[in-house]
Amino acid sequence: MRWAALLKGINIGGKKIPMADLKAVVEGLGHGDVKTLLASGNVVFTCAETEGAALEKQLEAALGKYGLKTDVVLRNGVELAAVIAGNPFPDAATDHPNHLLVSFHRDPVPEGLIAKLTEIYDGPERLKAVGRELYIDFPDDVGHSRLGPAMAKLKFPSLATMRNWNTVGKLAGLLG
């Protein structure tokens, strides 16, 4: 089975690993056809394991031995294709794909959080939770948005990692 491993916060905020080293860690676990994408902690590989939770723990432990403590979220090809097909903001994918982000979570986004968010934050962003993914359209500017602090105040799940729409598409392409 082909998997995409998305590492949280890599090569930003002090968590650093060269992509060649990330590839070597994954190959060292016995996984094949390993490819990295960009320098932000994306690695695609093939293995016999069909249970994502077990692989997430395996990768986190291996990275810990390398000295890197980070969360890993996995998606297989079918799951990533569903993420693309389920995009609730197709206009954003066309108009500004670098400002459409998908937050990948291990568990479904808790119900009601987005409704609570609108009670304390009235920014221009659009959000939609679909299963374990949270789609966020930043129509203006991702870097200057005040959405993050509002989400933190409501304790949105921290075990998540975001990728922009262009990267999601490239990962899907690597998964085949």
**What is the 8-class DSSP label of residue 99?**
G
> What is the enclosing helix (H) or strand (E) of 151?
helix 147-153
End-to-end CA distance of the chain: 11
Beta bridge partners of 76: 3
Enter the pTM of the model.
0.93
Tell me how far apart the alpha carbons of residues 146 and 168 are, in angstroms, rounded to a whole number. 23
What pLDDT does 158 receive? 85
pLDDT higher than 80, residue 31: yes
Look at residue 126 and tell me whether its pLDDT is greater than 90.
yes
Q: CB of 97 within 8 A of CB of 165?
A: yes
Side chain identity at 114, as an amino acid letter? Answer: I
pLDDT of residue 18: 87
Q: Using CA atoms, how far apart are residues 70 and 7, in angstroms rounded to an integer?
A: 7
Q: Which position has the higher pLDDT, 9 or 78?
A: 78
List 35's β-bridge partners, or say none: 44
Question: Does the pLDDT at position 12 exceed 80?
Answer: no
* Residue closest to 72 by CA, chosen among 130, 29, 135, 117: 29
Quick one: pLDDT at residue 16? Answer: 81
Q: What is the mean pLDDT of residues 134-150?
A: 93
Task: Give burial (CB, 10 Å; 0-12/13-18/19+) of 176.
Answer: exposed
Instruction: Please check the confidence at residue 46 and state whether its pLDDT lies above 80.
Output: yes
Query: Look-up: residue for tokens 């998540």?
Result: 160
